[in-house]
Amino acid sequence: MIRPMRPVVVAANWKMNTTPADAGELARTIASRTRVQGVTRVICPPFVCLAAVRDALAESDPSVGVGAQDVHHMLAGAYTGDISAPMLEGLADWVIVGHSERRRDHDETDERIGQKLVRAVEAGLRPILCVGEQLADRDAGRAVDIADAQLGGCLAGHDPGRLAEAGLVIAYEPVWAIGTGRNALGADAAAMAEAIRATLAGLGWGAAAGEVPVLYGGSVTAANIGEFLAEPSIDGALVGGASLKPDEMAGIVGRAGLTAAARLSAVS
């Protein structure tokens, strides 16, 4: 039996950048510059820009997915400033959960992130779950232990079959390589991707663990993406600052297209 080929995914996380006035045009420009066969593209703007990006992509390139940067763990309630999964209906089809900046700035625990996963899946949103270690953990040789603990905490009690059906994507974020000037190596990311799939297998995913896309997310640029996508265990990228620059996105998605074509050729 031929196992399904993992998709190649490039997700743009715009973080707290753009406004409704300029987000649509930026999304259109990026979409037009990144029409590459075989690459799943997703743009994740701020909440206030979701409608503008959705409308712009519906007109220019509906094949580009729209993602939210977070979702609340409750369906409704007295949570001033938060956004629930039902509120995202019609605005997004993807969502990022557990990003390192949410963990750092909002004290999000693995248990809470796991609750967000529940809401995302219930709402039909395709989740991108982020995991990754701090510099002290990397230097202490605890990178795999941290990812293992985060996955175990976030996925505890979840039905692997349901998450697999929902199209779970995992983004490995080495926090120490984000905006610090210290870069991860392709081999580092590949080893972590394999460790992540081994953890999933240990959590009851079985053979499906090998089919979960693992993205790299640590100061990704057009200049360094090739090193990561040269690794067979890496399936794309979660792009931060570079995702606001059409030239950078064109280079990143273009390189991702080479990986997608090579994989297709290998199974043909």
Residues 234, 38: Cα–Cα separation, whole Å = 15
Separation between Cα atoms, residue 150 and residue 146, nearest integer Å: 6
- Tokens 């790299």 map to which residue? 216
Structural tokens at position 59: 């007109």
Q: How many beta carbons lie within 10 A of that of residue 252, not counting itself? A: 29
Yes or no: say if 125 and 105 are a contact pair by the CB < 8 Å rule: no
- Terminal-to-terminal C-alpha distance of the chain: 14
d(CA 249, CA 252): 5
Alpha helices in 18-156 (DSSP H): 20-33, 50-60, 100-106, 110-122, 135-139, 143-155
Closest C-alpha among 45, 116, 126 to residue 75? 116
List, by residue number, the catalytic residues.
Answer: 99, 173
Q: What CA–CA distance (Å, rounded) separates 228 from 48? A: 32
According to DSSP, the residues that pair with 171 across neighbouring strands are 130, 215
How far apart CA 73 and CA 78 sit, in angstroms, is 12
